[in-house]
Amino acid sequence: MALQKWYRKLIIWGLSFGILLSGGLNTPVNADSGLNHFFPEKDWAAAGVQTDQVTREFFEQSGMQLPSHGVLDLNDGSILDNQLTPKENPPKLKKDDFRVLTLTATEWNVRNWNTAQTGDELVASAESIIEAAGQQELAADGGTFFISKQLAETGAQKAETVKEQLNARANLENKELNRSLETIVKVNLIPEKEQAVTFVRLSKDIQKVAEIDRLVIEVQPEVSIELTGGDLQSLAAADMEIEVTELKTDKDSLPADKTSGEEQKGPSYQINLKKAKAASQITLALRADQDPYNAIFRKDTSGKEEIIGGRYDGKTKKLNAKIRDDGEYYVRRNEKNFADIEGLPKKEKEFIKILASKGILQGNASDRFNPNAPIQRSEILTILVRMSYAYDGSASSGFSDVARDAWYYSYVSSGVKLGTVNGYPNNVFKPGNSVGAAELAKMNCMMLVYKRGYHFPKEAQNYLAKLGQGSRVPEWAKAYIAMAEREGLLLKTESGIYDGGQAITRRQAAEMLYRLYEKL
């Protein structure tokens, strides 16, 4: 009887035997698959495949022998019964049948994943493997790139399979990931010819592909669009249409900011969005250099300019920012300074200037930063909302001490909606109260949890033990401070002492917030 097509995922078992078996992955066999016992070694030697005796042992323990000629043909991923010879009195498998699927280069990447890394580096390297596995190419149809549910599903299945393999390997090696791995599907658009205008349409049915955490659309090498799983839910009512037009601009006539004199870097792109919900966002990524003062700007039809900000991705060499409105978008250097920060240490001054260049930090009407003043709850929440593009003008909060006409009302409401902060008993928020170190550590940690899927440490005490003797850690804040220590978000003395009860100044807050900004 032929071995049936059984789709059970044997990820951990397969890893234990040095072979990765998985359901749903049916692509051409590659030299790096580890299946060289199925084929003459001379076919694979040039590719650098090493003999994997475990593979042969796996089949022998299953009660099967490989053909004497060492070649195993796969028919739609299934092994035909005339290719395997049962041994005398073979042991019974837990399941009568299993399916061996063809493997691709991604499995080689999984097996060579550098798990000696830690923290964000470990997760980033894993997600690079996932993104490569889920990558798809798409040609235009009648001038429009249509991203269908089927295309998204194909990429998601491959990416999800590899993600499970990476998680399995991490578990086997007792590697604790600091956040959940994302299922990333990247779609590379292949234009019919060089064109200034690119039309992209996303099927509303993509929202049904629940596995996708991030959909990346590579419009061209200089421009890409990203949508999170949450963004894709906005497609419920209708297809989303994105129009990207590169605006031809004479480099010598690029506009300069009237106040700073900084010139625009690179071309402008007109982005037009047709979406079901006005509040929904996408991420726009534009090619840029590593200048820390670069920011993405938007210009509307009247010529009014607003700062969008952004964070530089060294891997893609692009500046990423969330957008929700049509307009002309471009990168411009936007160095900001405050007269009263000149005496600060160089690093502290840079943290303030970089966040100000993105529109995250602002000074007062006299263009002063007041670095040594305590920072208030209303101010810190405003900064967190700006940093995470979580502003929602329709959000509301019922705190008795937050007036609707207060400048921070919408920011407080947006922050509460985000889940990063709570009020006090009796329905008060205390917007004018200063923020303590432990309180800010909690806010930063909750931002990482809600916005990026970070996990709290399994053994909080391991990280609390790293704090210097004499540190003050409030009982209620132990989990947050342990996580903040792991992620490098705490401010400590040179001897490692941390004071969770101290009131945070604006300069101290800027440093903690800059560290958070680098992770979002």
* 165 and 290 both lie in a single domain: yes
The answer to whether the beta carbons of residues 489 and 513 sit under 8 Å apart is: no
CA distance 19 to 22: 10
> Is 99 within the bounds of a domain?
yes
For residue range 245-289, list pLDDT tens digits in order: 999 765 444 444 444 457 788 899 999 998 766 667 899 999 999
Residues 263, 343 share a domain: no
Residue with tokens 């043909």: 73
230 and 362 share one domain: no
- Is 300 contained in some domain? yes
Judge whether 121 lies within some domain: no
Our count of domains for the chain comes to 3
Q: Are residues 380 and 327 in the same domain?
A: no
* Nearest in space to 24 (alpha carbons), one of 113, 130, 156, 151: 156
Share of the chain above pLDDT 90, in %: 63
Instruction: Please tell me whether residues 313 and 417 are part of one structural domain.
Output: no
The residue out of 275, 306, 333 marking a domain boundary is 333
Which of 72, 105, 138 terminates a domain? The answer is: 105
Q: Are residues 26 and 100 in the same domain?
A: yes
- Whether the full predicted model's pTM is greater than 0.75, yes or no, is yes
**What strands, in cross-sheet order, belong to the sheet with 294-299?**
144-147, 197-202, 240-247, 264-274, 327-333, 294-299, 305-309
Residues 439, 498, single domain; the answer is yes
What is the per-residue pLDDT for 398?
Answer: 87
Per the domain annotation, does 149 fall within a domain? Answer: yes
Q: Which of 274, 309, 333 is the last residue of a domain?
A: 333
What range defines the domain where residue 270 resides? 126-333
Q: Is 381 in the same domain as 455?
A: yes
Would 183 be classed as within a structural domain? yes
Same domain? For 149 and 262 the reply is: yes
Three-state DSSP class for 23?
coil
3-state secondary structure of 391: coil
The answer on pLDDT for 420 being more than 70 is yes
Residue 114 resides in a domain:
no
Asked whether the beta carbons of 178 and 454 are under 8 A apart, the reply is: yes
Any domain includes 211: yes
Q: What confidence score (pLDDT) does residue 279 get?
A: 66
Do 162 and 283 share a domain, yes or no? yes
Whether residue 299 is contained in a domain is answered as: yes
Question: What is the amino acid identity at position 263?
Answer: E
* pLDDT (tens digit per residue) in 180-202: 999 999 999 998 777 789 999 99
| Whether the predicted pLDDT of 32 surpasses 80 | no
What φ, ψ does residue 263 adopt, rounded to 5°? -85, 155
228 plus 276 within the same structural domain: yes
Please indicate, yes or no, whether residues 101 and 172 belong to a single structural domain of this protein.
Answer: no
Lowest mean pLDDT among 70-74, 382-386, 412-416, 507-511: 70-74
Q: What is the CATH number of the domain that holds 135?
A: 2.60.220
